[in-house]
């Protein structure tokens, strides 16, 4: 059974108060980078894995995507997503674990995912499923928590006695697997993988890496929120853009 | 003027005592991974950037490479390299900064480099020069100190009062550029770059990423040297393998 923390009332309530939940895409520090890597979505069939409140699904429709499928494990998240998407028949929300997707071959032109895959145990298997349902030449674009960020289960700064942030500690980097973390609640299960695993799983599946980004908040964001300045000290997110190439290439 | 620390007598003397200098390739914790990514070198023209004592050049000849060019800034290193290479006319050692190479188009089938590019200021420019002298379909394989390792100038563990290693500290990750480090001597100038810069510079130049490795020492090495166990805690090296693809692809 996959952990479904987002349907835990306390977790859900805390998540709802995050900037990215209230303000949507513009409240997410990495959105400007993610957006810049999106292909033209006009007339495209788009799949969003771990769609949450559906912000990316609605964005895709604003960009004239012809259809969007959003997948999420959390019924509570999808309920809110459906409310906010109103009566757009071109958006379909499906409640299921990301790992269980089973779409037709070449069903999508673009597959995206925002900060969901660090909840997935087997990334290689997921790559295989995405490759299967993506058209050749299609884009697979996703963000995850950065391996520098996920290595230690604590996922927090080293601070001095006054609570000042000294540096970001890394440990257990090469030990991939489960991490019981605290994120809005206790015992949130995430999976740490190395940078090389993310890259090689994609490459071995038949994707070509198109871009790698470790996004920084914009200067404006850093001015508005002094803590954002610390985002220059270590990367929190990793964004990968890959293209499905035909086996012959 | 490029810093030429390897011709500094104290630095050179300390470097000569390192495992990798005494034992050669087998004394280098990352060699087994680097070797596994090398293409078949038989009948190939090989360029080694930052060849040092020429271990990789001689290895390439053992693998039946038809010619090898080794480039290094340090005359002392090359003197030793030449002594050890004896009268192999198929190996040419050139004393110059890596940044200044200027070979003919398509002169090489394989370009390799071991732990040298973190001394190079402009990696994008270097990619351009390698692309120029490498044949289409040729392999560009190199190792560098990992960005997790080079972010802080101190390049050392956080230790407790008993000197026990607590974790590896990361800071200033997004601030690329010069780091004055201590490595066998004071004020060794290295350049920190993010993972994304290494990747994107290659991709934008026209390389396709074939593999990404963050090597771990073998189990045997970890048994022989308890400190090697700590190499599981954070990656020290990054190895990238890339293929020159034609502009049309």
CATH code at A5-244: 3.40.50.150
Q: Do B166 and A170 touch (CB under 8 A)?
A: no
Q: Looking at chain B, which residue has its C-alpha nearest residue A206?
A: B210
Q: Which residues from A are below 8 Å from B when comparing CB atoms? A: 148, 151-152, 158, 166-175, 194-196, 199-200, 203, 208-214, 216, 231-235, 249
Confidence (pLDDT) at A79: 96
Mean pLDDT score, A216-241:
92
A233 and B173 within 8 Å at the Cβ level: the answer is: yes
What are the CA-CA distances from residue A47 to residues A69, A95, A118, B70 (Å)? Answer: 5, 13, 18, 49
User: Could you confirm whether domain B5-14+47-244 is CATH 3.40.50.150?
Assistant: yes
Separation of alpha carbons A45 and A68, rounded Å: 6
Residue B3 confidence (pLDDT): 84
Distance of CA B218 to the CA centre of its chain: 19
d(CA A89, CA B200): 38
Residue pairs between chains A and B whose CB atoms are closer than 8 Å: 110
State residue B202's pLDDT score: 98
Q: Are B74 and B51 in contact (CB under 8 A)?
A: no
Low-confidence ranges of chain B (pLDDT < 50): 249
DSSP β-ladder status, A134-145 and A237-244: antiparallel
Backbone φ, ψ for residue A72 (5° rounding) = -155, 150
CA distance A15 to A5: 10
Closest-CA distance, B220 to chain A, in angstroms, reads 17
CB contact under 8 A, A170 and B148: yes
Q: What is the pLDDT of residue A6?
A: 86
pLDDT in tens, A176-191: 999 998 877 778 899 9
Among the partner residues B151, B212, B216, nearest to A199 by beta-carbon distance: B212
pLDDT given for residue A2 in this prediction: 80
What is the distance between the alpha carbons of residues B142 and B110, in angstroms, rounded to a whole number?
A: 11
Which chain B residues are within 8 Å of A246, Cβ to Cβ?
Answer: none
Neighbouring residues of A72: CB distance < 8 A, sequence distance ≥ 6: A6, A50, A51, A52, A78, A81, A93, A94, A95
Average pLDDT over residues A206-227: 92
| ipTM higher than the 0.90 cut | yes
pLDDT computed for residue B61 by the predictor: 97
Q: Which pLDDT belongs to residue A10?
A: 85
Chain centroid offset of residue B139 CA? 15
What is the structure's pLDDT at B237? 97
Q: What is the pLDDT of residue B1?
A: 56
- CB–CB of B228/B221 below 8 Å? yes
Quote the pLDDT of residue A248: 55
What whole-number distance in Å separates Cα of residue B127 and Cα of residue A118?
A: 32
| Residue-level pLDDT at B121 | 97
Q: Which of A44-53, A69-78, A239-248, B202-211 shows the lowest mean pLDDT across its residues?
A: A239-248
Spatial distance between the Cα atoms of B111 and B51, rounded to a whole number of angstroms:
11
Taking chain B, what is the end-to-end CA distance rounded to the nearest angstrom?
A: 38
Residue A89 Cα, gap to closest chain B Cα (Å): 38
Predicted local confidence at residue A185, as pLDDT? 75
Domains of chain B, by residue range, sit at 5-14+47-244
Measure the CA–CA gap between B30 and B236, rounded to whole angstroms.
9
Which of B167, B175, B211 is the closest to A170 by Cβ?
B167
CB A86 within 8 A of CB A114: no
Residues of chain A found within 8 Å of residue B168, distances taken between Cβ atoms: 169-171, 173
What share of chain A has pLDDT > 70, as a percent? 98
């Amino acid at each position: 059974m996959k952990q479904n923390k987002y349907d835990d009332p306390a977790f859900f309530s805390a998540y709802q108060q995050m900037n990215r939940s209230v303000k949507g895409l513009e409240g997410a520090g990495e959105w400007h980078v993610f957006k810049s890597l999106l292909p033209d979505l006009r007339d495209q069939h788009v799949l969003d894995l771990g769609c949450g409140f559906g912000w990316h699904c609605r964005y895709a429709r604003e960009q004239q995507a012809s259809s969007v499928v959003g997948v999420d494990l959390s019924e509570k998240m999808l309920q809110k997503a459906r409310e906010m998407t109103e009566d757009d028949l071109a958006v379909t929300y499906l409640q299921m674990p990301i790992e269980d997707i089973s779409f037709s071959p070449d069903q999508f032109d673009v597959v995206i995912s925002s900060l969901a895959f660090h909840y997935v145990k087997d990334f290689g298997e997921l790559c295989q499923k995405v490759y299967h349902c993506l058209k050749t030449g299609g884009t697979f674009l996703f963000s995850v928590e950065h391996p520098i960020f996920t290595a230690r289960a604590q996922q927090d700064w080293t601070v001095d006695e006054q609570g000042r942030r000294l540096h970001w500690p890394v440990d257990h980097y090469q030990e991939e697997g489960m991490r019981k973390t605290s994120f809005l609640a206790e015992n949130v299960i995430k999976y740490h993988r190395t940078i090389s695993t993310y890259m090689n799983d994609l490459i071995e599946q038949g994707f070509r890496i198109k871009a790698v980004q470790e996004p920084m908040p914009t200067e404006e964001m850093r001015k508005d929120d002094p803590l954002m300045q610390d985002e220059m000290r270590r990367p929190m997110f990793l964004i990968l853009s890959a293209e499905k190439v035909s086996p012959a290439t």
